[in-house]
Amino acid sequence: MISLTSPVKTRAHSWPAGLKLGALCLATMALFAAGDIAWHLGFAAFAVLLYALPGSLFMREGLRRLWALWPFVVLVVGWHLLTDDVTKGAVIALRMLTAVGLANLVTMTTTLRDMMGVVRWLLTPLRWLGVNTGAIEIAVALVIRFTPVLAEKGQMLAMAWRARSPRSVRWHIIAPFAVLAIDDADHVAEALRARGGLA
């Protein structure tokens, strides 16, 4: 598994994780509340500015991670082109890119340990009720860690398909992708069992 935190240090690295996650929640709510495309263009421009402030290296790495969203953007915009509602499609695409971009900024400037500290604090009421929150904490950490890993493996499968076939990438890579995901899950399960499980 890879680290999601950017090695390029920014001022945001020292900000409290709870503050950043809270701001992300408020920003996401604002994105879904706004319906005018002008607002979303402004939000997107602001997100790009946040990527640009720490420097070109940080910006390139951050935007590279967003490249995995291009199939969804094409699908959304293409569908709304067919239904003759281009503006709505652009709003949805901008909302998605901005929301994921802001979330990516948080993960790039926050260590997994700090984020899990926030999750642990939020789960405090459940511990008062006698619930073992360890499994929930590990599940959240695994989702955060493995999402980019699986996305990268999906891209590698698509590249392998294109290298061996003149046809476009289709549903044929779903089976090998599922096998890869199950294999990774099996290895993680074995590692957890070797360390005593979740008890």
Residue 157, domain member (yes or no): yes
Q: What percent of the chain is modeled with pLDDT above 90?
A: 17
Residue 148, domain member (yes or no): yes
Residue 57, domain member (yes or no): yes
Using the predicted structure, report yes or no on whether residue 3 has a pLDDT greater than 50.
Answer: no
Average pLDDT over residues 193-199: 67
Using the predicted structure, report yes or no on whether residue 42 has a pLDDT greater than 90.
Answer: yes
Average pLDDT over residues 109-116: 83
Residue 9, domain member (yes or no): no
In a shared domain, residues 32 and 103: yes
Using the predicted structure, report yes or no on whether residue 4 has a pLDDT greater than 70.
Answer: no
Residue 2, domain member (yes or no): no
Mean pLDDT value across the chain: 82
Burial class from Cβ neighbours inside 10 Å (0-12, 13-18, 19+) for residue 128 reads exposed
In a shared domain, residues 22 and 104: yes
Using the predicted structure, report yes or no on whether residue 23 has a pLDDT greater than 80.
Answer: yes
In a shared domain, residues 40 and 73: yes
In a shared domain, residues 86 and 151: no
Residue 199: pLDDT band by 50, 70, 90 thresholds?
Answer: low
Q: Which domain holds residue 172?
A: 124-199
In a shared domain, residues 56 and 134: no
Residue 198, domain member (yes or no): yes
The count of structural domains within the chain is 2
User: What are 70's two structure tokens?
Assistant: 């291009």
Q: Where among 110, 138, 157 does a domain terminate? A: 110
In a shared domain, residues 80 and 154: no
Q: Where among 110, 138, 169 does a domain terminate? A: 110
CA angle 155, 158, 163 (to 5 degrees): 125
Residue 169: pLDDT band by 50, 70, 90 thresholds?
Answer: low
Tell me the per-residue pLDDT of 69-110, one tens digit each, with 9 for 90 and over.
878 888 888 888 888 888 888 899 999 999 999 998 988 888
Residue 97, domain member (yes or no): yes
In a shared domain, residues 155 and 180: yes
Average pLDDT over residues 170-177: 75
